[in-house]
Amino acid sequence: MQYLPNILFVAALVAGIGFFVRNVKKLARNIKLGKKVDVTDNTSIRWKNMFKIALGQTKMVVRPIPGLLHVIVYLGFIIINIEVLEIIIDGILGTHRIFSPLGAVYDFLIASFEILALLVIIAVIVFWIRRNIIRLGRFIKPEMTGWPKTDANWILYIELILMVLFLTMNGADYQLQQMNVAHYTKAGAFPISQFFTPFFEGMSMPSLILIERSAWWLHILGILFFLNYLYYSKHLHILLAFPNTYFGKLDPKGKLNNLESVTQEVRLMMDPEADPYANTSGVEDGQEVPKFGASDVMDLTRVQLLNAYTCTECGRCTNECPANQTGKKLSPRKIMMDTRDRLEEVGKNLDANKGTFKNDEKQLLDDYITREELWACTSCNACVEACPVSIDPLSIIMDMRQYLVMEQSEAPSELNNMMGNIENNGAPWPFSQLDRLNWAKEN
């Protein structure tokens, strides 16, 4: 039975990673429900964006206080993971602190992990206070009730617990090292957890070992749990921020995509030699004609769906949105949350029906995102600019407007008047094109 812990550890590791892989596959399948877009261009700019925005956190620090706190938690997450590597190797081989022969380097590493862990604890507490005591505006908007609110707090609790477990493990280990207990080789520097000494005062060696082992196990099991929590949480951004910033929009923000299928039609209409009965749609007989714009998640692109999974509901977009600031229903964050919720619903539908989608009489438009929200947008790009991970809520709003106008002819009547004017006299107002130069003669 000497190898029981090793076997249990490997089993937990395999189960944790296996379940995670299963969720990643589901995630990829759902994103692939979206339309393909060519994002193979400008690879060097894309890599640069990823390094700058995701790895370098350049857009997070636009707001200095949460930006700095976030950088701490982010660095803690990345750097403390080196320790997780040691824990995994120890767990598999049954060793203890296998990297300790690194000597001074090891001491330095452990010391920096400890300091980071403390900083993470402080940051997480401040985050919790901002959310629950100060109740900053962007955290208490109508879309932030129920699961989104619970999710946000759970993430903070889990991070707090993981860091406390990490320090407890080190603190107990330090005591055991002082007691010269076999297996607990003297290694590492413990600038934070050495202050736990009073707490362990007078404890017997077996109790200390029990505390050290429990903290060690709970810490790694907690990490495996957290890894699998991601798929169900807004916290998925810790992984998806990287691909999302890579695939982010490279064109000037003002540019909306050209719809090629419409171009072909327009060219033929304007060509006097064109055959009026020709099939111009590029669609063979019997095939389904692709629709204009988006009424459901399958009409969006894969990048837009990736955007939805990447959103961590920070609300910077909504905070900057002129419509939202003046009390309109539109919230760019809600557009992203709705898109993800609907995509998840479609994914579950696929799971339940052996991979084929069974019509559920629902769609993204109306069942999730209302027309009132869509028509409140001024297309000002404040939300796009504000997003720290290159999400583009505006593109979804515009695609849904396109569906409303081109498939349903359901623009607000004033906009129909405006478009009628453009069609008839080339201006959004009812003035004749022949009067366009009158200003030059007026005084």
Residue 54 near residue 247 (C-beta atoms within 8 A)? no
135 binds another protein (CB under 8 A): no
Q: Please give the Cα distance from 193 to 199 (Å, whole number).
A: 10
DSSP-assigned states of every residue in 183-247: T--S----TTGGGGHHHHTT--HHHHHHHHHHHHHHHHHHHHHHHHHGGGSGGGHHHHHHHHHHS
Q: How far is the CB of 374 from another protein (least distance, A)?
A: 9
Pick from 250, 262, 274, 283 the residue near another protein by CB under 8 A: 262
| 289 scored as a contact of another protein (CB under 8 A) | no
Tell me how far, at minimum, the Cβ of 147 lies from another protein, in Å. Answer: 27
Nearer to another protein, 284 or 423 (CB): 423
Which residue lies nearer to another protein by CB, 352 or 440?
440
Binding status of residue 43 toward another protein by CB under 8 A = no
CA distance 377 to 94: 59
The distance of Cα 166 from the centroid of its chain, to the nearest Å, equals 26
Tell me the two tokens of residue 4: 């029981």
Least distance to another protein, CB of residue 437, Å: 4
For another protein, the binding residues in 330-359 under the rule CB under 8 A are 330
Q: Rule CB under 8 A: is residue 258 a binding residue for another protein? A: yes
On the 0-12 / 13-18 / 19+ scale of CB atoms within 10 A, 141 is middle
292 binds another protein (CB under 8 A): yes
Residue 442 engages another protein in binding (rule: CB under 8 A): yes
Q: Which H or E run contains 271?
A: none
The answer to whether 424 contacts another protein (rule: CB under 8 A) is: no
Stretch that binds another protein, among 68-76, 163-171, 230-238, 379-387 (CB under 8 A): 379-387
* Tokens linked to 134: 């100060």
Are 369 and 400 contacting, i.e. CB atoms less than 8 angstroms apart? yes
Q: What tokens appear for 310 in the block?
A: 């990447």
401 binds another protein (CB under 8 A): yes
Give the nearer residue to another protein in terms of CB position, either 97 or 334.
334
Instruction: Name the residues that contact another protein, by CB under 8 A.
Output: 251-256, 258-259, 262-263, 265-267, 269-270, 292-293, 320, 322-323, 325-330, 372, 375-382, 384-385, 398, 400-406, 411-412, 414-415, 417-419, 422-423, 426-429, 431, 433-440, 442-443
